[in-house]
Amino acid sequence: MESLTRRGKYLRFLLDNGEMLVIHLRMTGVLSMVELPLKAEQKKHLRLLICLKDRACLAFHDTRRFGTASVLPPGETGKYWSKLGPEPLEKSFNATRLKAILNNRSGPIKPLLLDQRLIAGIGNIYADESLFAARIHPLRPADGISDAETAALVRAIKATLSKAIRLGGSSIDTYRALDGSQGRFQETFQVHRRAGEPCPVCGGSIEKIKVGGRGTYFCPACQK
DNA sequence: CGTTAGCCCTGCTGGC
DNA sequence: TGCCAGCAGGGCTAAC
């Protein structure tokens, strides 16, 4: 293997022969190192097994089978990503950039944050937490968000994603790191999956609604 | 073109 | 206590 990179939510393994293995874990996908022979439990929900040397293998397990893995031929490793929006942690993702994305869009802000063609890599958890940090209601029309709020939202997205990465991600359900360890970002959720619990800022009750078909958690007092 | 609804899938949860 | 409907969600497609 030449290199392992990430673009949005896609893992990209560039192989020696120029092909690219692309893996998307979706919600329940897990990568781990296993050793042959596999135990019965390791065979359950196994989707892909890549054996390297000796008896060491990279295993891709996925209970819900939403995850994907595919191999791109050498000539097609570039255009695959052309539809994805900017990386939110890059310097070039700033208030000006986000403003341009939200401009002239009358729909609610939250589904736009989840649209990978507009911004790459923000999932449902991180959209909820970012909007809370920026004090923006998830149903706010995107083109009605002020310059100051747009700047706050950029800061919130960067801070939320950075913190989640630092804490190893969110192990709500099945997510584990390669070594099997759990992420700890879920311990710091402010609003996500906390319906009925008190808001950490104002003490009011956190509400849950559906936005764009996704469970959405927010504080109706803090987020306007 | 923008927006929305439905589908895929299985394990867990909540309500009775 | 046991059962089962409903929920969870990223990305794709279809429909409007």
pLDDT of residue A161: 94
Q: Could you check: is the Cβ of residue A85 within 7 Å of any atom of nucleic acid strand B?
A: no
Q: Could you check: is the Cβ of residue A43 within 7 Å of any atom of nucleic acid strand B?
A: no
Q: What is the pLDDT of residues A125-183, one digit of tens each?
A: 999 999 999 999 999 999 999 999 999 999 999 999 999 999 888 877 778 888 777 78
Q: CA-to-CA distance for A57 and A50, rounded, in angstroms?
A: 5
Cβ contact A119:A88 at 8 Å: yes
Q: CA-to-CA distance for A207 and A196, rounded, in angstroms?
A: 6
Q: What is the pLDDT of residues A122-132, one digit of tens each?
A: 999 999 999 99
Q: Give the residue nearest to nucleotide B7 (CA to C1').
A: A66
pTM of the model: 0.94
Distance in Å from B3's C1' to A16's CA comes to 42
Q: CA-to-CA distance for A54 and A200, rounded, in angstroms?
A: 51
